[in-house]
Structure 1
Amino acid sequence: MREDEDYLDKSPSAARMGKAAEYLVAASCILATGGELNVSTSLVDDEGVDLVFHRRGGSATLAVQVKARMSTGVQVQQGKLMAFVRSQTFQSRDDLDMLFIAVDVERGAIMTAWLVPSGTFAGMAGEPNNRGRLRFSASMKPESKDRWTPYRLTAAELSQRILARLSELEKSGA
């Protein structure tokens, strides 16, 4: 089986599950910060932005592209998360981060997350494959020390990292 076959052959419910995962991230971050974070969603996803985070009283925004994989998937069950980003629509910028998440579908909860600034992702992902996709592949195992480890977060750490990214953007004037 080719590595991106399951990505390309999505089930009819994949879009529904993906959208639910985006709302899970949004709701979790709002709740975990006591309403300090606010989140907007796009009506049309033609720029690769799924969520836009904003701190109450702040001026910076952080756009986030979410790539979710479910606990029912073979790779997640094996402790790995793999996702692909279309290079044709991907455009790195200071205020865009990539969020890769594994979702426990039974509990409706984020298992593991990686929040990667888009410029960092562009540099680390390498060249697009023959289908024009940039590859993200990381271990979910706590003892793992792969190249994505510095960006790996627990569900509890995710909202705090987003607040930190917003602070960085405020300071840089982005």
Structure 2
Amino acid sequence: MSDDEDYLEKSPAAARMGKAAEYLVAASSILATGGELNVSTSLVDDEGVDLVFHRRGSSATLAVQVKARMSTGTQVRQGRLMAFVRSQTFQPRADLDVLFVAVDVERGAIMTAWLIPSTAFGEMVAEPNSKGRYRFSASMKPESRDRWTPFRLTAAELPRRILARLDELERAGASGR
């Protein structure tokens, strides 16, 4: 069975688990920053945006597409996170990041994350496959040095990196005025 076919064999609970992972990212980011971060969600996910982060007292926003994989999955158990991003909804822009996250379902916690600006992701991925999907595959092993390593984060680092991305966007907005 190919990686694509394996990916498509989702359990009926996959959408529920994916939504829970999005809320886990949102809640843990708010808590870890003492409420400095706020998060909005989309009612309809037709543009590939799951969460929108903003800092209290700032106008900059960071849209994030979340791709979560659970610790019960074969790939994650083997120390690898693999996911696909649909080319139909992926439109790189300065204020959009893609967040790949491995979730420990037993603890209800983020294991490893990769927060990648969409412009960098668009430059680094190969052409979409025959189903129109960009493939992301990264090692979760701390000693690995694959091309995604510069974007790899621990659960504790993720909220700080989101704040740093918002600072970057705020500075870019200020310089563009």
Q: Deviations over 1:50-85 (max 9, x none)?
A: 000000001100000000000000000000000000
What TM-score do the two structures reach when normalised by structure 2? 0.97
* Secondary structure in structure 1 of the residue aligned to 2:3: coil
Taking structure 1 as the reference length, the TM-score comes to 0.99
Is residue 17 of structure 2 the alignment partner of residue 24 of structure 1?
no
Gaps of 5+ in 2: none
Aligned residues: 174
How far the C-alpha of 1:8 sits from its partner, in A, is 1.3
AA partner of residue 62 (structure 2): L
Q: Distance in 2 between matches of 1:9 and 1:74?
A: 12
The residue aligned with 2:74 is: 74
- 1:5 equivalent in structure 2: 5
CA shift for structure 1 position 6:
2.5
1:125 & 1:82 partners in 2: Cα distance? Answer: 13
Superposition pairs for residues 61-140 of structure 1, below 5 Å? 61-140=61-140
- Aligned-residue identity in percent: 82
Computed over aligned residues only, the root mean square deviation of the Cα atoms, in angstroms, reads: 0.8
Distance apart, 1:95 and its partner CA: 0.2
CA distance in 2, matches of 1:141, 1:105: 18
Report matched runs for 1:131-150 at 5 Å.
Answer: 131-150=131-150
1-side partners of 2:84 and 2:40: how far apart? 23
Q: Deviations over 1:72-119 (max 9, x none)?
A: 000000000000000011100000000000000000000000000001
Find the counterpart in structure 2 of residue 45 from structure 1. Answer: 45
**Structure 1 residue ranges without an equivalent (≥5):** none
Secondary structure class of the residue paired with 2:135:
strand
C-alpha displacement at 1:18, in angstroms?
Answer: 0.1
- Alpha-carbon distance in structure 1 between the residues aligned to 2:113 and 2:94: 20
**Partner-residue secondary structure (3-state), 2:20:** helix
Q: Which runs of 4+ in 1 moved over 2 A?
A: none
What's the CA shift for 1:43?
0.2
**Alpha-carbon distance between aligned partners in 2 of 1:82 and 1:135, rounded to the nearest angstrom:** 7
AA aligned opposite 2:147: R
C-alpha distance in 1 between matches for 2:81 and 2:14: 16
Secondary structure of the residue that 1:155 maps to in structure 2? Answer: coil
Amino acid at match of 2:26: A
Q: Matched residues in 2 for 1:160 and 1:140: separation? A: 20
Amino acid at match of 1:82: M
CA drift at 1:7: 1.9
